[in-house]
């Protein structure tokens, strides 16, 4: 690692420590004033990482004196978060009403659920999309209802049967609002190793909340915390916002969470390792909120090489698609499922290849398959090339 890389890493670690201290609940009401450089860095970090509203609230509560220029930057970024969240909520209400009328239960996850449960202002917790979970028997009718409500498919599937048989989510966007994305989940987590996590345990104990004139469901306390932890761990347990979600949820509902039941459910689902990784990361960033007895139980639950390999690879999936394929096949389960999954990955349908390779000529399909292999093996290089310079899509 070069000296500049080390310096950048140390600077990133310092700013996350400062932000973590500012956002930590239960910490002293005031902290030492920040230097001008630290104040500027924290402001930039907050605006870049969707934490502007939270930092703005924190510095007011703690009596910190930020410059007018930095306060203005935070206020503008927080206003954008609020506007985006309101926009997403409006479109969710529209499709949720159609789902309600069709008698299809829908559960919201992560940001949309948390904005109703632990964040009391629209400018605090940003959302980039809306995650919707359906029961397995409702997936087909839910997708059909979304299309009837004016949504269109996002990216082309590798094969028509790829979702929900192999992949955990499918993207839809309202035709009149392409900047809005609904991720329809058939499973909760991306790694193939976690495909057998039972969904019914998340529906059990779920509660209903109102989104305008529509109703949606949110997971019960134990299910919500499990999902927050494993999702964060699958993305490297490094994004401060997701760790803050864990910290604040566990703190706010500490007296209502059945902690022994939480530990038992995590163990029975074979999710102890990713849950423990996320809880440790949240505690390092914001302080401990999960009881030590629960942590001890998770630490005593064995994590074999396959658990560790799957979680090590998960944050690297987008950058290393070939490694992802190999790890999924290695730790994913039965031989029959593995072969079917590999077949789906290796032999996409023509529609997907046409979307990937946009120059049609005699023999284009063969060229598209060659490009797909080359693209997967050289992703780090082609990421440096502007998208406008190549007429192809990512694999």
Question: Which pLDDT band, with edges at 50, 70 and 90, does 351 fall under?
Answer: low
Domain(s) labelled CATH 3.30.460.40 in the chain stretch across 102-219
Predicted pLDDT at 30: 56
pTM, two decimals, is 0.85
Question: Which pLDDT band, with edges at 50, 70 and 90, does 391 fall under?
Answer: very low
Q: Does domain 102-219 have CATH number 3.30.460.40?
A: yes
- 89-128 per-residue burial string, b: 16 or more CB within 10 A, e: under 16: bebbbbbbbbbbeeebbbbbbbbbbbbbbbbeebbbbbbe
Predicted pLDDT at 85: 97
| Other C-beta atoms lying within 10 Å of the C-beta of residue 246 | 26
What is the per-residue pLDDT across 149-161, written as a single tens digit (0 to 9) for each?
Answer: 999 988 766 667 7
Question: Which pLDDT band, with edges at 50, 70 and 90, does 335 fall under?
Answer: low
């Amino acid at each position: 690692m070069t000296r500049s890389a080390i310096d950048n890493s140390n600077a990133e670690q310092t700013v996350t420590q400062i932000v973590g201290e500012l956002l930590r609940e239960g910490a002293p009401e005031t902290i030492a004033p920040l230097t001008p450089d630290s104040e500027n860095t924290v402001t930039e970090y907050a605006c870049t990482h969707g934490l502007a509203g939270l930092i703005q609230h924190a510095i007011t509560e703690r009596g910190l004196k930020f410059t007018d220029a930095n306060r203005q930057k935070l206020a503008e970024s927080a206003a954008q978060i609020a506007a985006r969240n309101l926009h997403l909520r409006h479109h969710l209400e529209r499709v949720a009403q159609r789902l309600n009328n069709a008698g299809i239960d829908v559960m919201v996850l992560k940001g949309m659920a948390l904005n109703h449960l632990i964040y009391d202002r629209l400018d605090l917790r940003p959302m980039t999309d809306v995650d919707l979970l359906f029961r397995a028997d409702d997936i087909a009718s839910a997708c059909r209802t979304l299309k009837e409500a004016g949504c269109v498919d996002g990216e082309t599937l590798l094969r028509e049967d790829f979702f929900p048989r192999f992949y955990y989510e499918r993207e839809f966007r309202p035709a009149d609002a392409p900047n809005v994305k609904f991720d329809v989940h058939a499973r909760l987590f991306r790694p193939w190793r976690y495909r057998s996590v039972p969904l019914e345990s998340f529906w059990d104990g779920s509660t209903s909340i109102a989104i305008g004139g529509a109703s949606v469901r949110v997971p019960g306390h134990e299910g919500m915390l499990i999902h927050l932890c494993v999702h964060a761990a699958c993305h490297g347990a490094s994004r401060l916002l997701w760790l803050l979600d864990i910290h604040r949820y566990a703190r706010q509902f500490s007296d209502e969470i059945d902690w022994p039941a939480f530990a038992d459910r995590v163990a029975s689902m074979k999710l102890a390792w990713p849950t423990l990784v996320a809880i440790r990361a949240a505690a390092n960033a914001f302080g401990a909120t999960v009881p030590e007895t629960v942590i001890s139980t998770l630490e005593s639950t064995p994590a074999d090489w396959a658990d560790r390999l799957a979680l090590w690879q998960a944050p690297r999936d987008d950058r290393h698609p070939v490694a992802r394929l190999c790890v999924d096949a290695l730790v994913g389960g039965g031989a029959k499922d593995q072969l079917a999954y590999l077949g789906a990955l290796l032999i996409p349908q023509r529609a997907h290849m046409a979307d990937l390779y946009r120059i049609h000529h005699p023999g284009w399909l063969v060229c598209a398959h060659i490009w797909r292999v080359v693209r997967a093996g050289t992703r780090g290089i082609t990421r440096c090339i502007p998208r406008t310079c190549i007429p192809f899509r990512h694999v």
